[in-house]
Copies of this chain bind each other. A is one copy, B any other.
Amino acid sequence: MRIERTALADLAWGAAFLGSGGGGDPYYSLLLAEAAFERSGGFELIGLDEIADDALVAPCGWIGAPTVSVEKLPNGNEAVSGLRRLEAIMGRRIDAVLPIEIGGGNGLAPFLAAAELGVPVLDCDGMGRAFPESQMAIFNIRGLSACPSIVTDASGALAVIETTDNDAHERIARGLSVSMGGIAHMVEYPLSGAQAKATAIPGSVSTACAIGAAVRRARADGRSSFAALERAVEATGLYPYCRTLFDGKIVDLERETRGGFSVGRVIIEGLRSSSRMMIEFQNENLAAWGDGVLRAIVPDLITIMDSETADAITTERLKYGQRVRVVAAAAPAQLRDATALSFVGPAAFGYDTPFVPVERLNAEIAA
């Protein structure tokens, strides 16, 4: 399937929603992808069933604090230089690339590299959303190795990491992103085609495109973007539940860049009520409480959106006084089993509350 220019913008919109507040603002990634589109005349997106089992498949994306990515622009060659190094290490060409996470700018990041390498993008990703840490990828949950991984920066510096411990890999890569100026590109979890088929979240790139397209059409027709979003997300099958949790105005915001992450919390107050929703984040939105009652928690998706434009607002773009809607969606089933929850569930983020699916949390409240 060819990804045309309109689909690119749809993908950016859908990826921003699936980012759950993280993955980096898609704005620059979209600009870079559009420029690459002009040069290359379009991108090829292929399904997991179209790749050979013995293919070499490379997940890639940006690592670092999104607060920094807003200010520090890429040089455009980071991904290609990392991917070329992976080819040198593996002694063979890469057959396809995929986003390590579909959420945020990282959902578009591989298109640029794909165009330069002349390879397709695989219609799948490693997180089904965005997560703040590398070992939260489904590839780690399924026992695959992150290494060799290659971290590159805008100055042309490159580092190859090798360790059999994916937690150590995350620490090392995070440290590199900090010492490389707060943001860096990473090629990690090199996969065979068979491994990608067995583990990746399937169809997430085309799903993000479909979500973006549905909202674009609703806007053009003067229909509600939010209603279209909820319907489109649930129609994908990958995210079987989607609802608006809250509508209000940001009345309190704490955010700092700590250990390579944007960490903080935001409080949203109802426009015509004293009802409040508090959301905590670490790059991504992690948990939302409405008047002290849990309404959604990782790995389920929580996205704060501009009430007027219906655009997703990444955590680094949150501002006091913004009018926002909080939309939550059920995470893909792969992220909700007991094994996956030990990597990406509440406990993995330091919460002692057990995971409760967003559809259950909100059914109980409605009852």
A148-172 with Cβ < 8 A to chain B: 155-165, 168-169, 171-172
Bound-state CA distance A179–B173 (Å) is 8
**Residue interface mask A26-48, B partner, CB < 8 A = 1:** 00000000000000000000000
Other A-B pairs, 11, CB within 8 Å; known A159-B162, A171-B180:
A155-B163, A157-B161, A157-B165, A157-B168, A157-B169, A158-B163, A159-B159, A159-B160, A168-B180, A171-B179, A172-B180
Question: How many chain A residues touch B (Cβ–Cβ < 8 Å)?
Answer: 21
**A contacts with B: majority SS:** mixed
Point out the residues of chain B lying under 8 angstroms from A179, CB to CB.
Answer: 171-172, 174-176
11 contacts between A and B (CB under 8 A): A155-B165, A156-B164, A157-B172, A158-B163, A159-B161, A159-B176, A171-B179, A171-B180, A175-B178, A175-B180, A176-B179
Q: Which B-chain residue is minimally distant from A157 (CB atoms)? A: B163
A207 to chain B, nearest CB (A): 34
A159 touches B172 (CB 8 A): yes
**Residue interface mask A120-153, B partner, CB < 8 A = 1:** 0000000000000000000000000000000000
Point out the residues of chain B lying under 8 angstroms from A164, CB to CB.
Answer: 156
Q: Which B-chain residue is minimally distant from A165 (CB atoms)? A: B155
Q: Which B-chain residue is minimally distant from A158 (CB atoms)? A: B162
Point out the residues of chain B lying under 8 angstroms from A157, CB to CB.
Answer: 161-163, 165, 168-169, 172
Cβ 8 A contact of A161, one of B155, B158, B169: B158
A336 to chain B, nearest CB (A): 31
A168 to chain B, nearest CB (A): 5
**A160-B163 contact, Cβ under 8 Å, with A175-B178, A176-B172, A179-B171:** no
